[in-house]
Amino acid sequence: MLATACALITLSSCATFNRNDAAVKVGDASLSAKAAEKLAATGDSPATADAIRGALTKWIRVTVLEGSIGTAPAAITTPAELDTRLVQAIAVLGSSKARSTYELGASGSPLLCLGAITVATIDDANSVLATINSGTSFSDAAHQFSTDTVIKDAGGVVKDTNGKECLASQSISAPVVSALKDTPVGQPVAADLGTFSAVLMLRPFADLLPESQALIASASVPQEQLDAIVDGANIYVDPRYGRWDRDSGSVVTLTS
């Protein structure tokens, strides 16, 4: 009964639980109960059972994927590191397809990295476009002509509120996506966007920051490929935490 109770409440509150025991194993790699609680903790509050199962699921995926790409195993000590290592492992798997996926552009890339020079009218946009086509760099043209000071100062690089240069296609306004549809990466185009106009461009893959290229690479890996890799691993979960469910690819309660 105690084991069942521990699976349903905050596991750190179960005094008889040995926190040095392995909470989960993947092949020869293991994660202790103490380390699992640390990966699942938020602030000063103890980790809940659901949070621990989520951290175990992520740790399993990181460990299996890193093993598949030959990365030397190393301890993961923080939730942020766990997230970073997962993205990095998936990015390595998708690195060979990242550029080709991105160059599908607005017609198929999951992430779009925009360049823009905002102006008042479509005639102004066509004039700026002619300047670029005559040899002025996109960045220099943005510094010279953009009416948006943020974009002007960034040399035409469009970023979200968190400073990221690549955006999910569904988060970009429909008129912008429509203007860029079927436009090759690196080719600027003038567009009337209603209340203003702009010269738009999908920035070349080589111009993107390494972390942006990694995000595109990770988005290039189909979920079924990741599931197949993890599904083939030898995974053990201490039943006090739950069990590994291959259908969902996650640690779930014993009663699930």
pLDDT tens for each residue of 101-123: 999 999 899 899 999 999 999 99
Please indicate, yes or no, whether the overall pTM of this predicted structure exceeds 0.75.
Answer: no
Q: What is the pLDDT of residue 188?
A: 98
CA distance 211 to 222: 19
State the Cα–Cα distance between residues 102 and 95, nearest whole angstrom. 11
Report pLDDT for 222: 87
Considering the chain, what percentage of its residues have pLDDT values greater than 70? 92
User: Could you read off the pLDDT of 185-230 as tens digits, one per residue?
Assistant: 999 999 999 999 999 999 999 999 998 998 899 888 888 999 899 9
**Mind listing the pLDDT tens digit for each residue in 156-175?**
999 998 899 999 988 999 99
pLDDT score for 10: 39
- Looking at residue 20, its pLDDT comes to 52
The DSSP line for 2-64 is: HHHHHHHS-GGG-TTS-TTSEEEEETTEEEEHHHHHHHH-BTTBPPPHHHHHHHHHHHHHHHH
Is residue 1 scored above 50 in pLDDT? no
Rounded to 5 degrees, what angle do the CA atoms 143, 158, 209 make? 100
Percent of the chain with pLDDT over 90: 67
Mean pLDDT, range 79-99, rounded to an integer: 90
Mean pLDDT of the chain: 88
Q: What is the predicted pLDDT for the residue at 5?
A: 34
- Give pLDDT, residue 41: 86
DSSP, res 106 = G
Question: Are β-strands 197-202 and 114-119 bridged in parallel, bridged antiparallel, or unpaired?
Answer: antiparallel
Distance CA 206, CA 215 (A): 14
Phi–psi pair at 105, nearest 5 degrees: 65, -150
Q: How far is CA 97 from CA 169, 181, 199, in A?
A: 18, 21, 28
CB 55 within 8 A of CB 82: yes
* Structure confidence at residue 17 (pLDDT): 43
